[in-house]
Amino acid sequence: MTPFLTIQQTSASYPVFVGRGILAKTGELVSPRGKVFVITSPELRERFGEPVVASFGGRASLVLMEEGEANKTIDTANAVVTRLIELDGRRDSMAVVVGGGMIGDTAGFAAAIFLRGIDLVHVPTTLLAQVDSSIGGKVAVNHPKGKNLVGAFHPPAAVVADTDLLATLPRAELLSGLFEALKGGVIRDPALFELFEDRRDEMLARDADVIDALVRKKIAVKAEIVSSDERENDLRRLLNYGHTIAHGIEAALGYAGLTHGEAVAWGMIGANAIAVRRGILSQGDAARIERAILQLGPQQIPRLDRQQVLAATAHDKKNTGDSRVMVFPSRIGDCSIVSDVTEKEISYGIDAVLERQGL
Amino acid sequence: MTPFLTIQQTSASYPVFVGRGILAKTGELVSPRGKVFVITSPELRERFGEPVVASFGGRASLVLMEEGEANKTIDTANAVVTRLIELDGRRDSMAVVVGGGMIGDTAGFAAAIFLRGIDLVHVPTTLLAQVDSSIGGKVAVNHPKGKNLVGAFHPPAAVVADTDLLATLPRAELLSGLFEALKGGVIRDPALFELFEDRRDEMLARDADVIDALVRKKIAVKAEIVSSDERENDLRRLLNYGHTIAHGIEAALGYAGLTHGEAVAWGMIGANAIAVRRGILSQGDAARIERAILQLGPQQIPRLDRQQVLAATAHDKKNTGDSRVMVFPSRIGDCSIVSDVTEKEISYGIDAVLERQGL
């Protein structure tokens, strides 16, 4: 099978396979040098883990870890490392990580630190993981003081994205991925954005052609960005569009009650308000983006302390020194990075989000 | 000050400064982009930590961690990360790690995983750390199942090796570094080896010229090897000369009772016995190496279960698949990697070490 594309990063290059029914062919798509460890959760074991193990024809062992954001910790990663050691994992072993972003990030981090890094294959099972977290080489776990504060750059050896899996994805998780894809359209691909305007009903009905087009387009956007810039010094920061206020909202909610995609959706609305006020973005484009977001039906934010949101944005790990960095669209398909954003502006953006609640 | 040399690795290049009294000039030798965190132990705080902090003229904060092999754990690294977060560390922060190998490895690993890696400067305070662990970009912590099983490649931004510090180093730690330096001579530098034959008394009396020559020559050997080959696929494995049996001895002793350098010293004697039996190394060269080692006076091995040593070598993380990989000298200054070593041969090498005990 030919990869959909090959990502060229500074430290590695790797194929991304996209297709229907390819989960059960994972073993044919990658080339392990030694033992294979298929890492997934008890919940995903039967449907996704076992078929991946079988695809390696007896060469692979299953390693189980607990799911859930509360388990996205250094302790869980260390427990995975312990299993790899118990199963006599070596430097030439391969970790095949099957699951959503939490599993990919946590088991991916385990693969990054075990023996200073073994081969890693991502088999993302959610839309968000397929179009976002499995691409680019970032892995991380949370720290009690914040999300993703402990991690590594560890580009995978391959990504295997089976879009058949999205047919049974819970609706909330589908939506979470859709918002992330919509973000990609605003950043860099007007045609991807227009799918949300022109084919929304088919998209929500999970029409195979529309979903496949969306996944490919969003992966292409992210691939282009991470290929040029592995470590987020410049271009990669564009991916943080919507994330400043999103992270603030998530932190203020204790990372509960909203999906990450929904938080980003509200964060884009907040960022757009600041961009319009600065004269960077037209009111017309801002309205188009907002309409596309709201028509997908993001959940309202359960409760929110504006000051808490604001305080949490100050700890954003994108900040260096005292400057606040944000990404603003100038039109649909084009964004830029602004590094002199004031606390007052962020406060204005948060207010814009709060105003949309209860509509 | 001009660096002694600049190491060019695949993912980074960095200067190594070697000199007398340069610890207190660390702040002038490196270029932090943001905040500076000087990480050391309570024991080293006053003599080494405070002068380094002062060298940054008020810009640096002190972070303390516990010393000792028992504390070389992921939990200690995580505790350092927690302090960095509490002190509002950012992506542009710099970790300046002051201490021996345990501190460099553990705090270096913390710097590697905090925010997916911040700038790291090594200020090694022992001979072993100056000539070995601070050079090459490897950082790691131990796992209950083995040494250095969890880690990262995280090349430093600079290394500052102040040879004045070696004047007060405990004799056991001096010896540990000397054995590692002797290993470097056998691997790659006959002139370095000859220092041990011709200037041993001055070396043990810590004559400044001899110590400085030794430090520079050993750093040059390691720099050359890690420059060509960052991730130990080939040339870097030469550095493992003596380490197969050394790790077996250390594991069998529960990592107590011998310094790492002494274990390597005995491991070299064991490896040489196998090399002589294979016809790779002459008996004459083996005798020269053994004499140089024994005249430094390595501690005898307290107690040793041959089977335990042998079992521990099977878990060596250098092994891939079932092959046993060892490094053998062919003459002083030249070594090669052999990947078909049998368990029987390793057993023979262990016996050779045991025979030398009680002499």
Residues of A in contact with B140 (CB under 8 A): 116
Q: Which helix (H) or strand (E) holds B183?
A: helix B171-188
Mean per-residue pLDDT of chain A: 93
Residues of A in contact with B318 (CB under 8 A): 91
Q: For position A35, what pLDDT does the model report? A: 97
Residues of B in contact with A112 (CB under 8 A): 152
Does the pLDDT of residue A236 top 90, yes or no? no
Distance CA A259, CA A237 (A): 21
Q: Contact B81/A317, CB-based, under 8 Å? A: no
Choose, out of A116, A142, A313, A322, the residue to mutate when testing the contact with B (most B CBs < 10 Å): A116
Per-residue pLDDT of B275-297, as tens digits, reads 999 999 999 999 999 999 999 99
Pairs of residues, one from chain A and one from chain B, whose beta carbons lie less than 8 Å apart = 90
Rg of chain A over Cα atoms, rounded to whole angstroms, equals 20
Banded model confidence at residue B307, pLDDT cuts 50, 70, 90: confident
Q: For position B341, what pLDDT does the model report? A: 93
Q: What are the catalytic residues of A? A: 116, 138, 180, 222, 232, 236, 240, 243, 247, 260
Nearest CA among B321, B341, B311, B171 for reference residue B240: B341
If you search the block for the tokens 């087009």, which residue do you land on? A213
Choose, out of B143, B150, B154, the residue to mutate when testing the contact with A (most A CBs < 10 Å): B150
Distance CA B282, CA B275 (A): 8
Residue A269 burial class via C-beta count within 10 angstroms: exposed 0-12, middle 13-18, buried 19 and up:
buried
Distance CA B76, CA B99 (A): 15
Per-residue pLDDT of A99-121, as tens digits, reads 999 999 999 999 999 999 999 99
CA distance A322 to chain B (A): 10
Q: Contact B146/A85, CB-based, under 8 Å? A: yes
Q: For position A138, what pLDDT does the model report? A: 96
Chain A positions contacting chain B at CB under 8 Å are: 11, 33-34, 74, 78, 81-82, 85-86, 88, 90-92, 112-117, 138, 140, 143-146, 149-153, 315, 317-321
Per-residue pLDDT of B331-349, as tens digits, reads 999 999 998 999 899 999 9
The percent of residues above 90 in pLDDT, for chain A, comes to 81
Banded model confidence at residue A87, pLDDT cuts 50, 70, 90: very high
Banded model confidence at residue A228, pLDDT cuts 50, 70, 90: confident
DSSP for B293-312, please give it: HHHT-PPPPS---HHHHHHH
Q: Which positions ≥6 away from B337 have C-beta within 8 Å? A: B234, B237, B238, B325, B326, B327
Q: For position A145, what pLDDT does the model report? A: 86
Q: Contact A90/B11, CB-based, under 8 Å? A: no
Q: Is residue A215 within 8 Å of residue A16, measured between CB atoms? A: no
Q: Out of B81, B149, B318, whose CB is closest to A150?
A: B81
Nearest CA among B242, B249, B243 for reference residue B302: B249
Q: Which positions ≥6 away from A333 have C-beta within 8 Å? A: A185, A186, A187, A188, A189, A190, A193
**Mean pLDDT for the stretch of residues B223-239:** 78
Q: Is B63 helix (H, G, I), strand (E, B) or coil?
A: strand
Banded model confidence at residue B236, pLDDT cuts 50, 70, 90: confident
The percent of residues above 70 in pLDDT, for chain B, comes to 96
**Mean pLDDT for the stretch of residues A286-291:** 98
Residues of B in contact with A81 (CB under 8 A): 143, 149-150
Q: Out of B85, B116, B152, whose CB is closest to A140?
A: B116
Q: For position B102, what pLDDT does the model report? A: 97
Nearest CA among A17, A277, A273 for reference residue A156: A17
Nearest CA among B153, B155, B159 for reference residue B233: B153
CA distance A231 to chain B (A): 9
Helix H, strand E, coil C: the string for B231-243 is: CCCCHHHHHHCCH
Residues of A in contact with B112 (CB under 8 A): 152
CA distance B79 to chain A (A): 11
Q: Which two tokens stand for residue A344?
A: 């007052």
Residue B306 burial class via C-beta count within 10 angstroms: exposed 0-12, middle 13-18, buried 19 and up:
middle
The predicted complex's ipTM stands at 0.91
Measured between CA atoms, the residue of chain B closest to residue A319 is: B90
Rg of chain B over Cα atoms, rounded to whole angstroms, equals 20
Report which residue type is found at B68: G
Q: Which two tokens stand for residue A84?
A: 């790899």
N- to C-terminal Cα separation, chain A: 48
DSSP B114: B
The percent of residues above 70 in pLDDT, for chain A, comes to 96
Distance CA B219, CA B5 (A): 9
- Count Cα atoms within 13 angstroms, Cβ side, for B336: 10
Q: Out of A34, A113, A143, whose CB is closest to B151?
A: A113
Measured between CA atoms, the residue of chain B closest to residue A81 is: B150
At residue B53, φ and ψ (nearest 5 deg) are -55, -50
Banded model confidence at residue A172, pLDDT cuts 50, 70, 90: very high
Higher pLDDT, A228 or B155: B155
Q: Which positions ≥6 away from A9 have C-beta within 8 Å? A: A136, A137, A155, A226, A227, A230
Identify how many contiguous H helices and E strands chain A contains and give both numbers. Answer: 15, 11
Q: What are the catalytic residues of B? A: 116, 138, 180, 222, 232, 236, 240, 243, 247, 260
At residue B12, φ and ψ (nearest 5 deg) are -170, 160
CA distance A5 to chain B (A): 24
Q: Is residue A266 within 8 Å of residue A353, measured between CB atoms? A: yes
**Mean pLDDT for the stretch of residues A45-51:** 98
Q: In what order do the strands lie in the sheet with B94-99?
A: B5-8, B13-19, B158-162, B119-124, B94-99, B36-40, B60-64
CA dist list (Å): B217 to A128, B3, B181, B192: 52, 14, 8, 6
Higher pLDDT, A163 or B235: A163
Distance CA A267, CA A244 (A): 7
Higher pLDDT, A12 or A214: A214
